[in-house]
Amino acid sequence: MSYKLRNEVRTLRAAETLCSFSPALSKPLQETGGTSRDTGGNLPGRQQRMFGRKTSGEQCGRRRMKANDRERHRMHNLNSALDALRNILPALPEDAKLTKIETLRFARNYIWALTETLHMADHHPHTAASELRSPGSVSSLEWDSASPAESWSGTTADEVSCRTLTIDPPSFIPITIYLRSLHGENVTRNSW
């Protein structure tokens, strides 16, 4: 089963479980006593906090559920943004969905690579392209998900993560992006 599919299944299951918490089903936590996914744990202590307040427990419970709903929505938005970010990063094998942290680090290093490409093109307009196109000249140093600071100060081979090495980046792509962007093309992952 692919990573993507697995996550979708997991999300669906989570959503199913969530229904047992849904006010729409008139089954508050208090009644169900939790499910197989007792997030937050320590029931019924949490129920007590959620619904057992001295000041109108029912109202408090409604507020809490609304807040949970907003938080869920906020996190979904955040994940959507991360997905969008993944989609504009260079192509990866279909199954190799980057984790959140990998996506952020990869994006930062990718931006660094693009910036570097621009600098080289500015200072060595005639040689930049050929240099950058040679595999390993620049790509191996920053294509990984090592921490950002290392990107700017120089990354050692040891700092390249194993996960990244398995990605096997194409021979240097950023120059292609740069050239395409010069022509006003909207470069996306699918256009590689």
Partner DNA sequence: TAGGCCATCTGGTCCT
Partner DNA sequence: AGGACCAGATGGCCTA
Tokens coding 165 = 């090495």
Tell me how far, at minimum, the Cβ of 190 lies from DNA, in Å: 21
CA distance 123 to 162: 33
Q: Which of 143/178 has CB closer to DNA?
A: 143
Q: What is the dihedral of CA 65, 67, 71, 74, to 10 degrees?
A: 120
Q: Which of 7/191 has CB closer to DNA?
A: 7
Q: Which of 37/119 has CB closer to DNA?
A: 37
Which spans of this chain sit near DNA (rule: CB under 7 A)? 1, 6-7, 9-11, 13-15, 18, 21, 29, 36-42, 46-47, 49-50, 63-72, 74-76, 79, 99-102
Tell me how far, at minimum, the Cβ of 26 lies from DNA, in Å: 15
Q: Which of 61/174 has CB closer to DNA?
A: 61
Contacts of the segment 178-182: beta carbons below 8 A, 24+ positions apart: 178/114, 178/117, 178/118, 178/121, 179/129
Tell me how far, at minimum, the Cβ of 123 lies from DNA, in Å: 37
Q: Which of 68/140 has CB closer to DNA?
A: 68
CA distance 86 to 107: 8
Q: Quick check: 169 and 143 in contact, CB under 8 A?
A: yes
Tell me how far, at minimum, the Cβ of 126 lies from DNA, in Å: 42
**For residue 146, which of 112, 175, 177 has the smallest C-alpha distance?**
112
Tell me how far, at minimum, the Cβ of 16 lies from DNA, in Å: 9
